[in-house]
Amino acid sequence: MKKIAESVLAVVGKDLNGIKSAMCMNSGDIEIYPDSVHKIGDAAVMMGRNSEERFLMVVAYSEKTMPAGFAGEKLAIADGGAALVGKLDSTNAAALRKYFPWCAPKSLRNVKTTVGCGDRLGLATPGHVAAAKKFQVSPVIAQQSMRELSMTNRTFRSVVDDTVFGVFKSDYQLGWGADGDHLKTIPDIDVALEAGMPMITLDLSEVMNAAAGDWEDSKVDAAFAEMAADFKKRIADEYFDKEFVIGESSVKIDAATARRCAVMYTAALDFAVKVYNHLKSKRGDEFDLEISIDETTSPTLPSHHLYIVRELRRSGVEFSSLAPRFIGEFQKAIDYIGDLAEFDRQFKVHAQIAKAYGNYKVSVHSGSDKFAVYPTVGRETGGYLHLKTAGTSWLVAVTVIAEHECALYRKMHKAALASFNDMLKLYHITADITKIADVDTLPDAELVKLMDMPEARQLLHITYGPILTGELRGEFFKAMHKLEKEYEAALEKHFDKHLSLLGVPAR
């Protein structure tokens, strides 16, 4: 390590390209990531790796010229120079954000196309941004839900910090977002905000009266009758038996539908107003609010989408994106299940509603690997969309393990089978895992092919928690460190496919 630091000191007075060129010539156990080399005054800061871990290194002409704020082991090096080798921890992430503002997440409310790149490992950012650099898209890289945090023993702070190091390593200066995903309470939202997450996906499922969607009209009418008189009059005046022309389509709302919407959504929309005002008090205009109404058992009808948006706009709620529950099945890890023609017909109306009421982004949740619908989503939204992915980056890691570390994959597969029934309580999938062959009967070369099988993909997708927090954790992350370049290349290719099929233009 000292030898590397002295090599940096010898060239620290050069421009960045000169330092990077010198770092590319280093070999042996220690490697410096050339794209991570940056200057702070007369000091150089960079990331590197050895056979066991990644690290941050700062090199200066002297202790006095060492930038403040970094933490780590100090090295005395030749010619009076000073060096510091630190861990990829919260202190050093904060220092990077201080000196390099592009290392901090920001609001993407004015960006046309965004993609959520959930990373359950803290390792996926270089692969995500390698794809993002090639397309006119902004990645929301640090994206996690409370469920994912609990399953991986992470925090919003650690998710953001992990992303900071990935962004710095890749020299990604085009802007990125961070999303507190599917949050349901203001205390949880505050934790995400305190971690620096500018995007909040507000999940209204627990304050929405979704059950009323299946009530008899008489029960809906009785519930509506209990509402305030002035509210009932306004709903009648604005919605009863009205037809709204939306672009090339029209959406009709009869009296029964208007009453049902009022019963289903009023409490949820009131909460959305409360959350919006809270976000505004905390961050001014520097936040992205996504309204999520997708966590229901029945699809969001265009008439309901229209009602929700009109009511939000009436209340002055500014939101960047809205996630309906689309027709068909958006199950984890596999392609769309359903009638594509009907999806196309309904999605077109959803997209036209979004264009007519502020051109907000239509958000597609559980959106990874839904290749069959991507052309429609991209075309009908005109690129004003947010695609939310999460587990697909984990599955790319699983695929890399299956290809290169077969013994470990077999252990992971068996651990997934052992926890599958418990995980079904948390995730809705319909995979028949009895179709998956016993991994002990498969030759090594056949293991990676399992990740082309829907049942095996869903098995491994939902069982990440027990694998990442159980006895295989250490072995898994050791393998991922070894396979860092393979993982980055596989992720880049996977997200290239997503963005290409969505029709996102190249940069």
Q: Supply the DSSP string of 46-78, one letter for each residue.
A: EEEE-SS-EEEEEEESSGGGSPTT--SEEEE-G
Q: Does residue 334 sit in the same domain as residue 474?
A: no
Domains in the chain, number: 3
Q: Does residue 208 sit in the same domain as residue 299?
A: yes
Residue 161: pLDDT above 70? yes
Q: Does residue 245 sit in the same domain as residue 319?
A: yes
Q: Does residue 420 sit in the same domain as residue 378?
A: no
Least confident of 15-19, 33-37, 190-194, 446-450: 15-19
Whether 112 maps to a domain, the answer reads no
Q: Does residue 303 sit in the same domain as residue 385?
A: yes
Q: Does residue 432 have an active-site annotation? A: no
Q: Does residue 209 sit in the same domain as residue 351?
A: yes
Whether 173 maps to a domain, the answer reads no
Pairing of strands 73-76, 82-86: antiparallel
Whether 153 maps to a domain, the answer reads no
Q: Does residue 459 sit in the same domain as residue 375?
A: no
Residue 27: pLDDT above 60? no
Record the pTM.
Answer: 0.96
Average pLDDT over residues 311-317: 98
Q: Does residue 411 sit in the same domain as residue 486?
A: yes
User: Which one of 179, 181, 311, 492 is the catalytic residue?
Assistant: 181
Average pLDDT over residues 336-365: 97
Please say which residue of 50, 71, 99 terminates a domain. Answer: 99
Query: What confidence category does residue 25 fall into, taking pLDDT thresholds of 50, 70 and 90?
Result: low
Query: From CA 126, how far away is CA 284, in angstroms rounded?
Result: 31
CA angle 248, 376, 427 (to 5 degrees): 120
Average pLDDT over residues 191-213: 97
Whether 295 maps to a domain, the answer reads yes
Residue 453: pLDDT above 80? yes
One-letter identity of residue 448: V
Q: Does residue 322 sit in the same domain as residue 377?
A: yes
Residue 22: pLDDT above 80? no
Whether 375 maps to a domain, the answer reads yes
Residue 289: pLDDT above 80? yes
Q: Does residue 87 sit in the same domain as residue 229?
A: no
Whether 240 maps to a domain, the answer reads yes
Please say which residue of 99, 134, 150 terminates a domain. Answer: 99
Whether 143 maps to a domain, the answer reads no
- Residue 320: its pLDDT value, please? 98
Residue 444: pLDDT above 70? yes
DSSP letter (8 states) at residue 360: P
Query: What confidence category does residue 23 fall into, taking pLDDT thresholds of 50, 70 and 90?
Result: confident
CA 153 to chain centre: 17
Range of the domain at 232: 204-216+218-389
Percent of the chain residues topping a pLDDT of 70 = 99
pLDDT one-digit tens code per residue, 118-147: 999 999 999 999 999 999 999 999 999 999
Q: Does residue 301 sit in the same domain as residue 429?
A: no
Q: Does residue 377 sit in the same domain as residue 413?
A: no
Q: Supply the DSSP string of 380-441, one letter for each residue.
A: HHTT-EEEEE-HHHHHHHHHHHHHH-HHHHHHHHHHHHHHHHHHTTT------GGGSPPGGG
Nearest to 115 by CA among 131, 137, 145, 134: 137
* Alpha-carbon distances, residue 2 vs 8, 14, 77, 78, 82 (angstroms): 10, 20, 7, 9, 10
- Residue 163: its pLDDT value, please? 98
Residue 74: pLDDT above 60? yes
Q: Does residue 290 have an active-site annotation? A: yes
Residue 407: pLDDT above 60? yes
User: Which one of 179, 288, 290, 492 is the catalytic residue?
Assistant: 290
Least confident of 3-7, 288-292, 349-353, 495-499: 3-7
Whether 160 maps to a domain, the answer reads no
Please say which residue of 99, 125, 160 terminates a domain. Answer: 99
